[in-house]
Amino acid sequence: MSVRLGLRAIAIADHDTTAGVPEAQQAAAASALEAIAAVEINAEFGHTELHVLGYYVELGSERLQGVLSHLREGRLGRAQTMVKRLGAMGLPLEWERVLEIAGEGAAVGRPHVAQALVERGYAASTADAFARYIGKGGPAHVERFKLTPAQAIALIREAGGVAVLAHPLQLMDAVPELVSAGLAGLEAYYPGYSARETGFLLELAARYGLLVTGGSDFHGGGILPESRLGEIEAPEGAPEALRQAAERAR
């Protein structure tokens, strides 16, 4: 699909796993498309969750893969507990169906539980499922282990990657601390961001000497139906700038 859309580069940045990267790179090998090895790691900043993207990570990093495995185990247990809570509320879901929605090798998480809720007619959309049941403060919400932003950034850098703050509009106050921890970029181009909002982020990136990236946050499978592959274009030269930053850091 990426080739048909005329994309020149795409980052495979799944939550807490790099399992999809080798397959994507193999599929792209016969084309001009570059499939960038990446990952997205959840972290806790105060009482707010933020996501740190790691671009051009080394897939063979034992430290990275060990921590990601631990995070996936936490996700799995959390999702199972959510399904049990939902069942106790009179909203039974089949655990096997949640696993099918996630797909082989994926990190099972709340979006997959949310989609199962939609399929059973318990929620009108995944956003509705989060708002009513499994979002923070919801009756079936379960907390899970998360890294601190500094730990996530350090993990990415140790794996030879470049750390970028994903969809940062509501997290601008965190930027100075994250820059001190080694943050290298901001995802200024994101679905739903207005030109004015993107402008704020571009000014913030310039102020701190950060790289600028863009991403569609496309999850596939109807998990985020408002996000479409290729909808958001990264700035010209963004992949090369990320690659050079990774090379300088190694």
Strand partners, 12: 37
Cβ–Cβ < 8 Å for 204, 160: no
Q: Which of 41, 71, 37, 43 is nearest to 55 (CA)?
A: 37
Which domains can be identified in the chain, with CATH numbers? 9-68+146-249 (3.20.20.140), 75-134 (1.10.150.650)
pLDDT tens, position by position, 42-55: 998 888 889 999 99
Token readout for 108 is 């099972």
With bands split at pLDDT 50, 70 and 90, how would you rate the model's confidence at 230?
Answer: low
The pLDDT of residue 80 is above 80: yes
Taking the model in full, what pTM does it have? 0.80
What pLDDT, on the 0 to 100 scale, is given for residue 157?
Answer: 97
How would residue 217 be classed by pLDDT, with cut points 50, 70 and 90? confident
Q: What is the pLDDT of residue 225?
A: 53
Strands of the 9-12 sheet, one edge to the other:
9-12, 34-45, 48-55, 162-165, 185-189, 211-214
Q: What is the pLDDT of residue 122?
A: 97
Total count of residues recorded for the chain: 250
- With a pLDDT cut of 90, the percent of the chain lying above it is 66
Q: Read off the pLDDT band of 136 (50, 70, 90).
A: confident
CB-CB neighbours of 173 under 10 Å:
10
In this structure, the strands spanning 48-55 and 162-165 are antiparallel
pLDDT at 222: 53
What is the C-alpha end-to-end distance of the chain, expressed in Å?
Answer: 32
Would you call 214 helix, strand, or coil by DSSP? strand
Please report the pLDDT score of residue 133 as a whole number. 97
Q: Bridge-partner residues for 43, per DSSP?
A: 50, 147
Q: How far apart are CA 34 and CA 170, in angstroms?
A: 30
What does residue 194 show for φ and ψ, rounded to 5 degrees?
A: -80, 165
